[in-house]
Structure 1
């Protein structure tokens, strides 16, 4: 029973990330509510309201048809206009900031909820429209249902106003950066909390373990921890996940090691627990946040955009994320009952820092203001505690590379004197 629950939960986690999930739920609820109202109309709800509160009921078939037709037409036009604006937002974000930001913007639940409200209201009005008998007497008109259709249309109008408000926020780079940062911070804090619980466990050397290859191509997005943990306990084995999250894995590349040799049935079972995707989300892989913020900085400092203000803001968010990453080790474990069963690799700090700074140095080494901001970032990070002393060594090496590149680009004496001051401050 627990295994079935885990499988269902895993399926739910996968499907809820799809852009059509919440709109589909809203749409089905609109259809279901329409049938419920049809049943209530057959039970005489409109007749009762005509006798007691006639002002709430539309009891003319032609009027009801006209009202619902106008509501449906207006709602469809509103929905088309709203999501034309979403396309404009996505195009502008891709052009001005980075195409890598698009999956995070598309998956915004507020926009999905608003689309769902539109769809459920449209479908409700359509099905109520079918139930109207304009040539019958007044009791055959679903008057109360028509009134609800009008109210749902009013709700959609307010949802449209809220949508205009959110879309005007979503286009701002500060909002985009904060959203990326918050998602990555939550992921890192969750990993740090898990690491505290599992740090006391040891894991054997996996050099001679059995390697198994992947059957799919795609980005290694995630794996079902509960299912894989249950598998390890049932088969009395340990597993090491070889690739880091977010890396593109080709078919035939080893993806995990097992302490014990596994049969074909067990391999098929494990492959179901490993998730691949053609898209990347920060909530699944915090390293993507570093990539996205780095690309925003590089795009802002490119000659076509030339927006150092955005670069300076992005460096602040990058500093906070690096500070959190310094508290995490390069490997993590998944355990239960005082035993580590699964070893998970992550991008090591030195590689992450180098990849980020290599891109930033290319576009920012000519700007003394941005270089100064980066040196402040290094100074702050060097003063923070780290899970490994090697992290501080990596920071010093990257600071030296930044200063070296900046000195090769800058010629103004004042700028060079500032660089000398920064070198002394960083003890380079």
Structure 2
């Protein structure tokens, strides 16, 4: 039953996340207004005298005006979005192609598109039915006035739309939006994992029951899962469910995605309900998986460090945003187990280790910016700040990365002036890392010394 209900729910979720969600709703509202203007039998006697005085003598003679408004609206919409796609294609070349679709599908842009489409639909309905019943000229005249007001409103939206799109492709806005979306996704995850049922266990002791593996029936990105529903399914058969993938992984058909530790093997209906709790999405959804936001910030940074763009300021801006997100990650330990009311583990899932996350985010930036002293110093400052929130293995990972950054700085800075500038900033600022007071000699110098 859950498998049957999951399909329309997933379809509704995909519709709400598509670019057609708000435009289609607004188009329906405008269509209802058009039907009210055409079908409601409102006579002149039912309206106030002030409105009657505004009525046109022959509303059906305004077809030329309505046709001009319709042509202008179509031209306005085509011009707006052709220009937007041109601007966003350039933004994709400068930042990351993953950001282009997200900028197009922003809610303000959907609102503007919906008002454009709705106005065109309303005017088109007035053109299709030009005849006016006797004694209802005022009601149709008001509809024509409303069509003119809609066009003026769309002209104002056009100015807002151009301004908003121009601001949305600026690097400050791009980095801030990615940072905000990732932070909100992390806060939503923290809110979901509140309560005694959500726990983090360093090691999960396996049960004595046999393990029954369940394979994927389709390929795609597994963004999330209804862990509470999986816990109920596991409690129904007195077992434990273990997920074999990290959220956001791409799985292929036939891959083992979860296993059930229970005395009896699950039937096909139970397996279908378990698969129905998994959420597949195409692409990367920051709202469903906050680590995607961090990865996109890293990709924007390395794109800015490419030889064709060569914008280290953008990379440093992304490093600052990543530092804040990683600090929030360090201050909170996500859960990897879901317990039932009796305290028994029902669902377990793997988590991304902090050292893995740190390597995936900082190492590409260090590799692309290894010749830029400012990038190395920005990464070192980020590692210093993160060390104030880290303990145990996390702090050891930060120490190892700091040593690698210092080694890279030593290779990039061979002039005494550069080395003096860097050494003055090695141990400054609050941190809990063991850093040297001087840069080590470059590897080439070491090789010469050994040869002598």
Structure 2 length-normalised TM:
0.85
In the alignment, which residue of structure 2 is the partner of 1:415?
418
SS at 2:337 equivalent: strand
- Measured in 2, the distance between the counterparts of 1:320 and 1:338 equals 38
Query: 1:26 Cα deviation (Å)?
Result: 1.4
- Measured in 2, the distance between the counterparts of 1:370 and 1:420 equals 15
User: Among residues 215, 227, 234, which one is paired with 2:217 in the alignment?
Assistant: 215
- Confirm or deny that 1:320 pairs with 2:317: no
SS at 1:126 equivalent: helix
- Confirm or deny that 1:398 pairs with 2:398: no
In the alignment, which residue of structure 1 is the partner of 2:190?
192
- Measured in 2, the distance between the counterparts of 1:241 and 1:21 equals 33
Query: 1:196 Cα deviation (Å)?
Result: 4.8
- Measured in 1, the distance between the counterparts of 2:314 and 2:289 equals 24
- Measured in 2, the distance between the counterparts of 1:269 and 1:182 equals 34
Query: What is the CA deviation profile of residues 281-311 of structure 1, one whole-angstrom value per residue up to 9, with x for unaligned ones?
Result: 2111111112111111111122211112111
SS at 1:18 equivalent: coil
- Measured in 2, the distance between the counterparts of 1:229 and 1:57 equals 66
Contact kept? 1:6, 1:227, Cα under 8 Å: no
SS at 1:36 equivalent: helix
- Measured in 2, the distance between the counterparts of 1:328 and 1:263 equals 38
SS at 2:336 equivalent: strand
- Measured in 2, the distance between the counterparts of 1:3 and 1:57 equals 57
Contact kept? 1:403, 1:419, Cα under 8 Å: no
- Measured in 2, the distance between the counterparts of 1:338 and 1:10 equals 32
In the alignment, which residue of structure 2 is the partner of 1:283?
287
Higher-Rg member (1/2): 2
- Measured in 1, the distance between the counterparts of 2:342 and 2:200 equals 7
- Measured in 2, the distance between the counterparts of 1:127 and 1:343 equals 57
In the alignment, which residue of structure 1 is the partner of 2:348?
343
- Measured in 1, the distance between the counterparts of 2:406 and 2:123 equals 65
- Measured in 2, the distance between the counterparts of 1:338 and 1:128 equals 65
Query: What is the CA deviation profile of residues 190-231 of structure 1, one whole-angstrom value per residue up to 9, with x for unaligned ones?
Result: 223444534557695348532211111121122234544443
- Confirm or deny that 1:427 pairs with 2:434: yes
User: Among residues 330, 352, 373, which one is paired with 2:357 in the alignment?
Assistant: 352
Query: 1:73 Cα deviation (Å)?
Result: 1.3
Contact kept? 1:244, 1:347, Cα under 8 Å: yes
Query: 1:114 Cα deviation (Å)?
Result: 1.0
In the alignment, which residue of structure 1 is the partner of 2:442?
none
Structure 2 unmatched ranges of 5 or more: 436-452
- Measured in 2, the distance between the counterparts of 1:24 and 1:67 equals 26
In the alignment, which residue of structure 2 is the partner of 1:43?
42
SS at 1:25 equivalent: helix
Query: What is the CA deviation profile of residues 147-176 of structure 1, one whole-angstrom value per residue up to 9, with x for unaligned ones?
Result: 222222222122212212211111111111
Query: What is the CA deviation profile of residues 342-396 of structure 1, one whole-angstrom value per residue up to 9, with x for unaligned ones?
Result: 3232321111101112201111121112211111111111112x4x521111111
| Residue 342 to residue 75, structure 1, CA distance change in 2 (3 Å) | farther
SS at 1:257 equivalent: strand
| Residue 85 to residue 225, structure 1, CA distance change in 2 (3 Å) | farther
Query: 1:57 Cα deviation (Å)?
Result: 2.9
SS at 1:142 equivalent: helix
| Residue 240 to residue 84, structure 1, CA distance change in 2 (3 Å) | same
CA RMSD of superposed structures (Å): 2.8
Query: 1:331 Cα deviation (Å)?
Result: 4.7
User: Among residues 60, 71, 77, which one is paired with 1:73 in the alignment?
Assistant: 71
Query: 1:405 Cα deviation (Å)?
Result: 2.0
| Residue 152 to residue 398, structure 1, CA distance change in 2 (3 Å) | same
- Confirm or deny that 1:34 pairs with 2:34: yes
Contact kept? 1:56, 1:147, Cα under 8 Å: no
Aligned residues: 423
| Residue 414 to residue 147, structure 1, CA distance change in 2 (3 Å) | same
- Measured in 1, the distance between the counterparts of 2:55 and 2:243 equals 64
| Residue 192 to residue 116, structure 1, CA distance change in 2 (3 Å) | same
Shifted more, 322-331 versus 74-83: the winner is: 322-331
Contact kept? 1:59, 1:142, Cα under 8 Å: no
SS at 2:120 equivalent: helix
| Residue 59 to residue 259, structure 1, CA distance change in 2 (3 Å) | farther
Shifted more, 170-179 versus 56-65: the winner is: 56-65
| Residue 200 to residue 171, structure 1, CA distance change in 2 (3 Å) | closer
- Measured in 2, the distance between the counterparts of 1:350 and 1:162 equals 44
Structure 1 unmatched ranges of 5 or more: none
User: Among residues 367, 376, 382, which one is paired with 1:371 in the alignment?
Assistant: 376
- Measured in 2, the distance between the counterparts of 1:344 and 1:47 equals 70
- Confirm or deny that 1:333 pairs with 2:337: yes
In the alignment, which residue of structure 2 is the partner of 1:21?
21
User: Among residues 300, 308, 311, which one is paired with 1:296 in the alignment?
Assistant: 300
- Measured in 2, the distance between the counterparts of 1:67 and 1:180 equals 45
Query: 1:234 Cα deviation (Å)?
Result: 4.3
Contact kept? 1:59, 1:138, Cα under 8 Å: no
Query: 1:242 Cα deviation (Å)?
Result: 1.9
